[in-house]
Structure 1
Amino acid sequence: MTDATPETGPSARTEQTVDDVLIAGGGYVGLSLAVAVKMAAPHLAVRVVDGAPEGAWKRDGRASAIASAAASMLDVLGVWQEIAAEAEPIRRMVITDSKTGDPVRPVFLTFEGDGGDGKPFAHMVDNVAMVGALRARAQALGIPIQQSAVAESFRSGDHQVVLSLADGSTLPARLLVACDGVRSRLRQSAGINTVIFDYGQSGIVTTVEHERPHDGTAHEHFLPAGPFATLPLKGNRSSLVWTERTEDAARLIESDDLIFEDQLERRFGRRLGALKVVGPRRAFPLGLTLARAFVAPRFALAGDAAHGIHPISGQGLNLGFKDVAALAETIVEADRLGLDIGSLSVLERYQIWRRFDTFRMGVTTDVLNRLFSNDVTPVRALRDFGLGLVDRLSPLKRFFISQAAGEASPSDPRLLAGRPI
């Protein structure tokens, strides 16, 4: 590391140094990348800058599905035990297809089983618990987290990259990683083009309590406007991901509690008894966003900054964790070989590792959304036949379970197989 200009602010140091890895974004991707690199290469200076105000992460009312392979990675990072205490295993997935008002919802496909070694193929966990565990682990490793530091742009040189913050200050580093979300300012600053498609849908997210236990069962009910998923949380609670046309979602979010809960019950049904909304209700626009490149000199994209996909497969978070595993291994192995961790030749390995898999998942979710978010009778018949076929063919069903669990192949990064870098 080399000395640079003095730093001011709450995380000021006597001398500003050139960090080895500077990560923009303090969500689960940015924090897990910081922890993974620091654990494998303690001598590297890793810093996280987070544009959100102090404590904002504690107000995140959402929950996420963590695949078995991602859980293995988090175990290596030393946070899974804490997260698992707040997580609910998904042991069964039931898929139905009908119209909203249909009195009977035929079950076309049921997934039961595990992701290997007797582990559930996924867990549901509140984002607050997941991010809180990662923040605590980062702080225990001595990783600075610079809060309310909004990343605006950057410029790259031969030996370092300089990040400009909204307050006018700058931070130099050997490598800058953008984990700043699907509308990434840093991706734009890098001049990286994206493929963007707006589905005209929004995902309504909230948490409900119900009278009866869910028994670890997740339901995905395909409706003409899009999938309505209920995902089990700790206790008699479920997380909802409710897809609606954007204009309808806006009306539902703005409606009073009585109307919202009435519409919710029509979709959720009464299988778990009376329902009560206990979390904030929010709507997020849904679309497909794929970066045409994941790297540039001294710069890399990870997580939603590299890709945003439809939640129909529940794999958005796990794509981000795959990015973390691949990028951390790329950085650490290059450092061990004495290579420049910010050079384009080093970062190309990460891009090759991740871009095709991301493109494949983006196309898959796009096709699934188009196939299931409609009410055309021949299309419904075709998709229901396909679901029933998968349900009856054990090898094919096992393949889909392994995909949901994110089972690691020999060519995948070591962290996804539960092995340290």
Structure 2
Amino acid sequence: MSEAFDIAIVGAGPVGAGLALALDGAGYRVAVIEAAPPSSETGSTFDARSLALAWASRQVLATTDPALWAEIEAGAAPIHRIHVSDRGRPGFARLDRDDEQVPALGYVVENRLLGRALHAALDRSGVTLFCPARVTAVDRSPRRARVLAEGPEGRVDLTASLLVAADGGNSAVREGAGIGTHRVEYGQTAIIANVAPALDPGTTAWERFTETGPLALLPLTEGRCSLVWTCRQGEEEELLGLDDAAFLQRLETRFGGRLGGFTAVGERHAYPLGLQYAERFTARRLAVIGNAAHVLHPVAGQGYNLGLRDAAVLAEVLADARRAGRDPGDETLLTDYARRRRADYARTTAFTDGLVRTFSNAVAPVAALRAAGLVALDRLPPARHALARQAMGLGGPVPRLARGLAP
């Protein structure tokens, strides 16, 4: 016998868990299926991976569950300022929380801390969590979706009016629904690591554009920075093969001396970079969110925040449907969700893609215009404000959760 739910979410990562929590208390019976067991990692580690949370994402999480946000904030590093520069050329731009009248432009939080807080919130919610459980089959009929999964305790068999694919860039649920993806390769690779600068990074995030791509240093707790160093594809092997001293020296040459050099680096990992997006965000009885719908270049840290806004808007659409007594898997409702996400997705993708292409172009006239643009940006408050709003996730219509309102 299948266990019946209103909504089944495949994937309990930050976006899938965020949607489940946003729907808790909305009157739906919600199930979440997650293949990976909860991490047992405890304590602080130098090498912990991290995410940048925009101000709008902070609002979504805090509105969803104040206790959840309190736990995250206790271990997060706030971003009060963002310094943007172009290597080897004059001019820079600065964004500041005071200009935007917010406590922080964003926050940097370790993945393990965020995951632990989200899973704790799921445990105390009314959401049913199947974890670990790996989806083995999905069938979507005109009236219901059926999901089969396997876990340590045996077979999971459930039905739902709406199935949500939140299972990442290689989403099996999306592929099983016949939704293809488009991918644009940038010819770049990201080197990800944590580093310790000689000077305390404080609350400033640095975005430095170089001829091989952007280099970002985001403040972490304990005087560390999260490094995202974009290099040309093929150069990553050399950077990964350097000893720590040589790597840090190369980093200082590339970044400059604003942080007094670097004293330590943790494990280094390389990831090829590209833009990937689903051909559509819905199918019969199915909504696609987060990385299953779109994967962005990490410049400006927009990827997770765009995905969490997917969850916030879908929660809003579903909450309205519940109040109106509508079927949560109704085709017109899903069409409304896709329509409401279109503008934000197009704007954020254009913003990210434009930064990558413009600031990776070494042609002299383009570089000169770039430098002039940064000078103008720093001196024009309306332009700075528009850029800050986009970076904060407030560049377009803002979901109710991001405004501090219930969905």
Deviation string, structure 1 residues 342-364 (Cα, Å, up to 9, x no partner): 12111111101102321222122
Q: Is the Cα–Cα contact under 8 Å of residues 86 and 125 in structure 1 kept in the other structure?
A: yes
Structure 2 contact 8–30 (Cα < 8 Å) conserved: yes
Partner residue in 2 for 1:222? 209
* Corresponding residue for residue 299 of structure 1: 286
Pick the aligned partner of 2:236 from 216, 240, 249.
249
Partner of 2:18: 32
User: Are the equivalent residues in 2 in contact too, given 1:57–1:131 (CA < 8 A)?
Assistant: no
CA distance in 2, matches of 1:80, 1:115: 24
CA drift of 1:114 comes to: 4.3
Percent identity for Structure 1 against Structure 2: 39
Distance across 2 between alignment mates of 1:53 and 1:250: 32
The 8 Å contact of residues 7 and 160 in structure 2, kept in 1 or not, is answered as yes
SS in 2 for 1:39: coil
Conservation of the 8 A alpha-carbon contact between 1:151 and 1:163:
yes
Which residue of the other structure, out of 272, 283, 287, is the alignment partner of 1:285?
272
Total equivalences in the alignment? 399
Match of 2:29 in 1: 45
Please say if 1:375 is aligned against 2:324: no
2:234 counterpart SS class: helix
Out of 92, 97, 101, the residue aligned to residue 113 of structure 1 is: 97
CA 1:328–1:146: 2 relative to 1, 3 Å: same
Partner of 1:102: none
Cα distance, 1:95–1:416 mapped onto 2, change above 3 Å: same
User: TM-score, normalised to structure 2's length?
Assistant: 0.91
Match of 1:163 among 129, 138, 147: 147
Q: State the distance in 2 between where 1:253 and 1:420 align.
A: 46
Q: Does 1:318 align with 2:318?
A: no
With 87-96 and 117-126 compared, the bigger mean Cα shift is at 117-126
Structure 2 SS opposite 1:180: coil
Alignment map for 1:77-226 (pairs within 5 Å): 77-78=64-65, 79-99=68-88, 106-114=90-98, 116-165=100-149, 170-226=157-213
Q: Give the match for residue 401 of structure 2.
A: 415
Supply the distance in 2 between the matched residues of 1:24 and 1:190 (Cα, whole angstroms).
13
Query: Would you say the 8 A contact 2:302–2:352 is kept in 1?
Result: no
Shift of 1:323: 0.5
Letter in 2 for 1:52: A
Query: What is aligned with 1:10?
Result: none
Distance in 1 of aligned mates of 2:41 and 2:406: 28
Q: Does 1:22 align with 2:11?
A: no
Aligned with 1:380: secondary structure? helix
Structure 1: runs of 5+ lacking an equivalent: 6-16, 100-104
Mapping of residues 319-358 of structure 1, within 5 Å: 319-358=306-345
SS at match of 2:8: strand
Relative to 1, partners in 2 of residues 1:380 and 1:346: Cα closer, same or farther, differing over 3 Å?
Answer: same
What is the aligned-residue RMSD (CA, Å)? 2.2
1:39 Cα offset (Å): 3.1
Give SS of 1:341's match: coil
Structure 1, 184-193 or 142-151: larger mean CA deviation: 142-151
Deviates more, 1:241-250 or 1:227-236: 241-250
| Secondary structure at 2:146 match in 1 | strand
Q: Which letter does structure 2 place at the counterpart of 1:137?
A: A
Bigger CA drift: 58-67 or 213-222?
58-67
Distance 2:37 2:242 in 1: 29
1:158-195 residue CA offsets vs partner (Å, 9 max, x unmatched): 22112243677543222111111112111111111222
TM-score (norm 1): 0.88
Hey, what's the Cα distance between the residues in 2 that align with 1:376 and 1:323? 37
